[in-house]
Structure 1
Amino acid sequence: MAESGQRVDKWLFFARVVKSRSLAQKLVQSGGVRVNRDKIDSAARLVRPGDTLTISLKSGIRILTIRDPGVRRGPASEAAGLFEDITPPPPKPDDTPAGQETGYQPSERPPNKRERRRLDRLRGDGYG
């Protein structure tokens, strides 16, 4: 099996990058996976040991080098042996005091509903 390769959706599932194979297919078809810097849109693309996958997830971007094709979705310790994570560490936060760059000063009371909605809109995690 190592000679011919393995489907990328199957490998993502075996390596526990995604929870199900159908989610792996959707991730690949949406353009969230690159193999050796080439954007792919087919979940049937074959990957081999030595290939580098760049995966765009909600939690961030992961860069994985395939060590071994999987044969099953086993425990996390077994899945960790399938790849080498070469994702660079996130940048360290600046040592600036809180509120200096945004002008926000924390108050002694929790925010009310109006203030929470404003904060959500500012952060971009609100609905409107």
Structure 2
Amino acid sequence: MLEQASSALRLDKWLWYARFFKTRSLATKLISSGKLRINGEITSKPHRHVQIGQVLTFAQGAHIRVIRVEQLASRRGPAPEAELLYTDLDPPQKQNTDAASSAQPDFEHRQTGSGRPTKRDRRQTARLKDPFS
């Protein structure tokens, strides 16, 4: 349930309630590593209190999250309820298919269903990969 009486909540608890982390200890670990900012200030204290209106910035995987605290909660509720706790200030990210395809190595493409490569095919592929051998 959403809580209106309290004006502050522990940072690690709020991140866990808002479902940014699966466990509270993961939230504590990120905060303790100094990789979270509150209103632009680095914090490394999981017990620091978060208040309505503050902006939190932290990395989550390869994505940088910038969120504004809108409400405080008294429990970890379902995902639709957790989404009411914050506003995402990140610009929408575009799916860059070129970047994803460039991560794949550019080797000779075999036709689907052509079977296992023969010894000759493997030698040719090896020469393409390392022409100095």
TM-score, normalised relative to structure 2: 0.69
Residue of structure 2 in register with 1:19 after alignment: 22
Greater helix fraction, Structure 1 or Structure 2? 2
Q: Percentage identity across aligned positions?
A: 34
Task: From the superposition, tell whether residues 105 and 34 of structure 1 become closer, same or farther in structure 2 (CA, over 3 Å).
Answer: same
Structure 2 counterpart of 1:58, from 55, 58, 61: 61
- Segments of structure 1 that go 5 or more residues without pairing to the other structure are 116-128
Residue of structure 1 in register with 2:128 after alignment: none
Equivalent position amino acid for 2:54 in 1: D
Q: Give RMSD over aligned pairs.
A: 2.9
Runs of 4+ in 1 over 6 A off after TM superposition: none
How far the C-alpha of 1:59 sits from its partner, in A, is 3.9
Q: Is the 8 A contact 1:32 1:57 kept in 2?
A: no
Structure number, greater radius of gyration = 2
Determine whether 1:89 maps to 2:58.
no
Q: Secondary structure at the match of 1:19?
A: coil
Equivalent position amino acid for 1:31 in 2: G
Residue of structure 1 in register with 2:130 after alignment: none
Map 1:1-128 → 2, pairs under 5 A? 1-3=5-7, 5-91=8-94, 93=96, 104=106, 107-108=109-110
TM-score, normalised relative to structure 1: 0.72
Task: From the superposition, tell whether residues 75 and 94 of structure 1 become closer, same or farther in structure 2 (CA, over 3 Å).
Answer: closer
- Segments of structure 2 that go 5 or more residues without pairing to the other structure are 118-124, 126-133
